[in-house]
Chains A and B, each alone.
Chain A
Amino acid sequence: MNKRIYLDYNATTPLSDEVKKIFFAELELYANASSLHEDGRLELKKIEQARRECADLIGCTAPEILFTSGGSESNNMVFQTMKKVSLKNGRKTIVISAIEHPCVIESAKQLEKEGFKIIKVPVDEYGIVRIEAYRQALEENPLFVSIMSANNEIGTIQDIKTLCSMAHEKGALFHTDAVQAAGKITVDMKDWDADYATFSAHKIYGPKGIGALFVKKGTPIEPLIRGGHQEKGLRAGTYNAPSIAAFGHACLCAQKELVSYADKTRKLREKLRDGLIEKIPNIRINGHPERVLPNTLDVSFPGAEGEAILLHLDLLGISVSTGSACASGSLEPSHVLVATGLGPELAHGSIRFSFGKYNSESDVEYILHNFPPVIERLRKMSTLS
């Protein structure tokens, strides 16, 4: 097998050619951006340019962008900051949704051990935050709310602007994990009015190990890593200039291509969705039918188990993800699918196809030709059919 079809762009993306060019050229440069000499000053200039490019992608100002090692660090930083904020205003309740990324859930759990109260707001069958439950949670006057902009597994997009304004009415700070949304849909901090937002380079054709946290001007933030003046003392450590420059360029490209990217991936997603529905009986499309990332298609195949499906696809040269427990190493299927009310058979039998800019119609045709017999065979040998 020569060609592989990569349909796991929500896990990570390859470097784009444009980003690669910037990144590789930058790797040749080595000056410390904090140095006063010309070599250093040049690097610092590039970092500040990247900061502006990142800011443009999410509709904020450059000084509101803080570079981190990625989404997990950004999310952890916000949660750790809340301890300090709580000391000042006495609030002890944190609201998250039931389908957050593990780094948000685990950060919340840690604060729970330290005396905070965590409210997990349920979602409906499509993965949309249940607004009545959310309103009720806000009645507790929380310190802080963290709700992702779009979900990594099912692609469901939340109405962050509304959720944020509801939180602000109760005096709560608002954070959104926009790692999956940035570069796929419009993310606009000025419009949404969030206090914090997380995004990451490697989901938008940039390198791994670099991300950012948006912190609205005047909003409190505490460093996780101390001992240097970088990022106004909020993130110590020598600047990762090549990655930052590449991240900036990835943001620039993502913004330029936002509409064409969405059109392209949506077309492929719909072709695959319609083809699967036509060719495979008894399947379930997960996530919201319209409020969904243009590139994300999550499907359950009752009677077949996700890891077995994934590995058959792998042998066909197709890379996807599954929400099955067997693939996670735990005994639990995806918490996201379970939160949308899926029973174990549907959750274990789920496959996520996530498209990107290097996919083509022929990829979808290859899948529609080769994949249906896999499901038919697994179902025939299954005890559940």
Chain B
Amino acid sequence: MQDWLYSDVVKDHFQNPKNVLMEDEASWPCEGRGIVGNIQCGDQMLILLRIKDDIITDVRWKTYGCASAIASTSILSEAIKGMNINEAYKLKPQDIVSRLGGLPSNKIHCSVLGDKALRSAIDDYLTRNGKPSLAGQEEVEVICTCLNITDRDLEDAYKAGDRSWEELQARTKIGTACGGCKERALEKMHEFEHLYGE
């Protein structure tokens, strides 16, 4: 086929997903489980982790969703094998998108949920083992949950010169789905103003 909707990497992971669990969840006992997403929006992801000495030794996942949702979960599952959970906890949606060779901007919001599912699975592992959650220690705070836009993205936008909500929206598409993140986003911009000045 000449010209496909997504990159070749996405196409490959869509057609030949890696580490996907085709059987029942119960058939793959694990140390950490995380599920995120919403059927209303059309995407849901489950990540199961086997962890030894805080190292992710194996991973399985299930996804209900579009081609980019399937591909992004697949590529994430490859990236995190052998990773320390502290490092894995810091993975950003952007890391997944760049590994996929890019995604259309309207796809990033719903289809790249893997990092959230991963953090949820790591927290589950920590809770099961009586260890403190890493919540708050992720490198990023997801500000806009609809479009998966983080404080890092806002920081970059601030450095690029954005000051108003409209400028932020033009660059990042933040808040263009439900709009519920506006207040928190502007708080963050205020923080950056203190950090970096006008």
- How many residue pairs bridge A and B at CB < 8 Å? 74
Please encode chain A, from 318 to 346, with 1 for each CB lying within 8 Å of some chain B CB and 0 for all others: 00000011110101010000000000110
Beta-carbon contact of A383 and B42 below 8 Å: no
**Does B63 make an interface contact (CB < 8 A)?**
yes
Assembled-state Cα–Cα distance A89/B96 (Å)? 60
Query: Quick one: which of B5, B39, B45, B107 contacts A348, CB cutoff 8 A?
Result: B39
Interface presence of A87 (CB below 8 A): no
In Å, the complex CA distance between A1 and B17 comes to 22
With A305-B65, A326-B66, A383-B35 already in contact, the answer to whether A331 and B110 are too (CB < 8 A) is yes
Q: Given the complex of chains A and B, what is the CA–CA distance between A1 and B2 in angstroms? A: 11
Distance in Å: Cβ of B26 to nearest Cβ of chain A: 13
- Return A64 CB to nearest CB of chain B, in Å: 43
- Which of A93-101, A163-171, A248-256, A307-315 forms contacts with chain B? A307-315
* A308-B39 contact in complex given A331-B110, A381-B21, C-beta closer than 8 Å: no
Interface flags, A344-372, vs B, CB<8A=1, else 0 = 11001000000000000000000000000
Query: A382 contacts the other chain (Cβ, under 8 Å)?
Result: yes
Contact between A344 and B22 (Cβ–Cβ < 8 Å)?
no
- Main SS class of interface, B: mixed
CB <8 Å contact, B67 and A311? yes
Which residues in B have their C-beta under 8 angstroms from that of A303?
Answer: 64
Interface size on A, residues (CB 8 A): 26
Residue of B nearest to A347 (CB): B42
Is residue B79 contacting chain A, with contact meaning CB distance below 8 A?
A: no
A288-320: contact bitstring with B at CB < 8 Å (1 yes, 0 no)? 000000000000000111111001001100000
State whether the Cβ of A217 lies closer than 8 Å to any Cβ in chain B: no
Task: List A contacts of B177 (CB < 8 A).
Answer: 331
Q: Which one of B22, B40, B66, B69 has the highest number of Cβ atoms from chain A below 10 Å of its Cβ? A: B66
**Smallest CB-CB separation from A324: which chain B residue?**
B42
Are B146 and A381 touching (Cβ within 8 A)? no
Interface pair B35/A311, CB less than 8 Å apart: no
- Decide: A324 near B64, CB < 8 A? Known: A344-B40, A384-B39: no
Chain B minimum-CB-distance residue to A326: B66
Report the 10 A-B pairs with minimum CB-CB distance, sorted nearest first. A326-B66, A307-B66, A382-B64, A348-B42, A380-B22, A383-B44, A383-B62, A383-B64, A311-B67, A384-B64
Q: Name B residues whose Cβ lies closer than 8 Å to a Cβ of A.
A: 1, 5, 14-15, 17, 20-23, 35, 37, 39-46, 62-67, 69-70, 106-107, 110-111, 146, 177
User: What is the interface of chain A, defined by CB distance below 8 A to chain B?
Assistant: 1, 303-308, 311, 314-315, 324-327, 329, 331, 333, 344-345, 348, 377, 380-384
A-B contact pairs, 19 of them (CB 8 A): A305-B42, A305-B43, A305-B65, A308-B14, A308-B66, A311-B5, A324-B66, A327-B66, A329-B106, A331-B41, A345-B39, A377-B22, A380-B23, A381-B63, A382-B63, A383-B37, A384-B39, A384-B44, A384-B64
